[in-house]
Structure 1
């Protein structure tokens, strides 16, 4: 079964188990029709756009298989799933993200994979504003938007945990002296 962990706990757990040295993170921007994907670099500092998967209720097994391939290809150790956090935590958008993750869990194909949710508020809007002056074809624009929204989600998470890693290491060193 896939296992949910709080954002900082996930990173600390990966740090303790030395999984960070062996694997990367995958960022997911889950939408109604597409799932944008971004992957971290081997040092888990920088997010890069990867691809977009078509999302249908009927193809969740195929998506799980795609994720298995990505886990193998990129040595992925966890997923960072964008979820809109606002005052109404039970918003329809947040609910559909959680349903997607639950459906992935039910496939049984991603055993032992850890994941966390990260605030995706405004990631798509920010990318949209950057793309507008480029006057791209709507289909091309949507694909780029989904991938770069996933980059925004993953990069936000990486920046957060890497700032905290410095604090963790400083605290550890202070205790040793």
Structure 2
């Protein structure tokens, strides 16, 4: 984990789409950024690196599906390969983070916010990326406590 505070970019890689979320400048609050259409690992990685550079992020977090036995599943291994492709194109630190259940959490949150069922259809990729990022940011707070005045 990076000890430097700043913007963090989260990536929720999927078969067809890639959800992106970005933190505020203090690295505290996650916000949806955009959804990319999956092209190829190298092109996706280059696009993610470009977005990270444009936003001045200090860290990239890739959501990785972990099986119940603690090993990465098929999508988890794809996330590992995407992380490697990103690392090959930038000096920005890349972290893999367990994203298990992030899409379901995002779907549940939309339901609790009162979004109608007909409007809940469609992709959850950017919201799933927000769930991944906020989980990661919250875990950092236990390592880097917020200083009280």
Taking structure 1 as the reference length, the TM-score comes to 0.71
Deviations 1:105-151 (A, max 9, x none): 4xx432x121111111111011123345522274xx21xx1001000
Q: Is 1:85 matched up with 2:85?
A: no
The one of 83, 108, 123 aligned to 1:101: 83
The change in CA–CA distance for 1:100 and 1:165 in structure 2 (over 3 A counts) is: same
The runs of 5 or more residues in structure 2 that have no matched partner are none
1:74 is aligned to 55
Contact 2:62 2:95 in 1 (8 A): yes
Instruction: Give the TM-score normalised by structure 2.
Output: 0.82
Structure 1 or 2: larger helix share?
1
Correspondence for 1:32:
15
Aligned residues: 143
Pairing 1:121–2:100 present: yes
Structure 1: 5+ residue runs without aligned partners?
1-9, 170-177
Give the distance between the partners of 1:96 and 1:61, measured in 2 at CA.
12
Q: Whole-Å Cα distance in 1 between the matches of residues 110 and 26 of structure 2?
A: 28
Distance 1:96 1:29 in 2: 11
